[in-house]
Amino acid sequence: MPPSAVKSLDRQALQTLPKPQRLHPLPIRIMHWVNAVAVFIMIGSGWKIYDDDVILGWLHIPEFLTIGKWAQHGLQWHFFGMWIFGLNGLAYLAYGIATGRFRRKLFPISLRELLTTIGDALRFKLTHDDLTHYNAVQKILYLGVIIAGILILTSGLALWKPVQFSALAALFGDFQTLRIVHFLCMAAIVGFLLVHVTLALLVPKSVIAMVTGGPSIGQTVSGRGTVEAASR
């Protein structure tokens, strides 16, 4: 058979196979980077707003780390960013639940694996050969940051509209408690980002994977199908 015939046959065979799935499907990659921009805006502008009436007397965010010249600009950015963060976040949650991605990727979390991973991490023995599998610490961090994201959005809505959304606000207690919850969620997300960005930069292929989609995973029957799809 001439080489071209082999190629076309292969292509036919590929088409009948189930579509190979990338580690990070396109919707995930889009939502990840949209979220990156939104979180950048929300944190920088939030710090600007925070500085007008600090919660912790010793903590003033340096001007150069904040977004917006004056408080009103910080507020403008914040109430612009909230739409991106909120809508993108809702789309992400819906996608994660509907496709079963959360269930597949984040569960189950075993205590034993968690302890082993922490031990490995402390001895600098963590490997990143397999991007497709999350270790227990990663699962907990990702789950935690998703929960912090939900909490910061709901506490933010209640802070924005404590009267119109009074039932939601009442769940958090007092108005100042609400502010503290919102602030602590920010601190948790910033803490996550420090670890997340540092580790991503240490393992550059993980950043590339979040752009290109990364390796193909499971779901294809033949090895060749996977390879071909991966090298597309």
Partner 1 sequence: MGIHRAGRSLFRPQKPVNRDVLTAHRRLLEDIDRRGALRGALSLGALTLLTGCDVTEEEPVQNALRTVSAWNDRVQAALFRPDHLAQTFRPDQVVKPPRFNAHYDPAEVQPVDGASWTLELSGLVADKRPWTARQIYEFPEQEIIIRHVCVEGWDYIGHWSGPNLRRFLEHVGADVTAKYVYFHCNDDYTESIDMATALHPQTILATRYANDPITDPFGYPLRLRTSTKLGYKNAKWIRGIEVTNTFTETFWSGQGFNWFAGI
Contact residues: partner 1, CB under 8 A: 44, 48-50, 52-53, 55, 63-73, 75-77, 79-80, 83, 160-164, 166, 175-176, 179
Please report, to the nearest 10 degrees, the dihedral formed by the alpha carbons of residues 95, 96, 101, 102 taken in order. -170
C-beta closer to partner 1: residue 25 or 162: 162
Of 126 and 180, nearer to partner 1 (C-beta) is: 180
The distance of closest approach from Cβ of residue 148 to partner 1 in the complex, given in angstroms and rounded to an integer, is: 20
Nearer to partner 1, 63 or 130 (CB): 63
CB of 151 to partner 1, least distance (A): 18
Angle between helices 71-98 and 136-160 (to 10 degrees): 130
| The Cα angle at residue 46 between residues 202 and 191, in degrees rounded to 5 | 30
| Shortest Å, Cβ 51 to partner 1 | 9
Structure tokens at 16: 């009948």
CB atoms within 10 A of CB 78: 23
Residue closer to partner 1 (CB basis): 8 or 177 = 177
Name the minimum Å distance from CB 43 to partner 1: 12
* Shortest spacing between CB 110 and partner 1, in angstroms: 39
Residue in the block written with tokens 């050969």:
129
Q: CB neighbours of 130 closer than 8 A, spacing ≥ 6?
A: none
10 Å CB burial of residue 47 (0-12, 13-18, 19+) is buried
Task: Write out the H or E segment, with its range, that includes residue 22.
Answer: strand 21-22
Q: By C-beta, is 20 or 44 nearer to partner 1?
A: 44
Least Å distance, CB 199 to partner 1, is 19
Question: How buried is 70 (Cβ within 10 angstroms: 0-12 exposed, 13-18 middle, 19+ buried)?
Answer: exposed
Q: Which is nearer to partner 1, 44 or 214 (CB)?
A: 44
Rounded Cα distance between 98 and 45, Å, is: 32
Q: How far is the CB of 123 from partner 1 (least distance, A)?
A: 32
Q: Which is nearer to partner 1, 36 or 195 (CB)?
A: 36
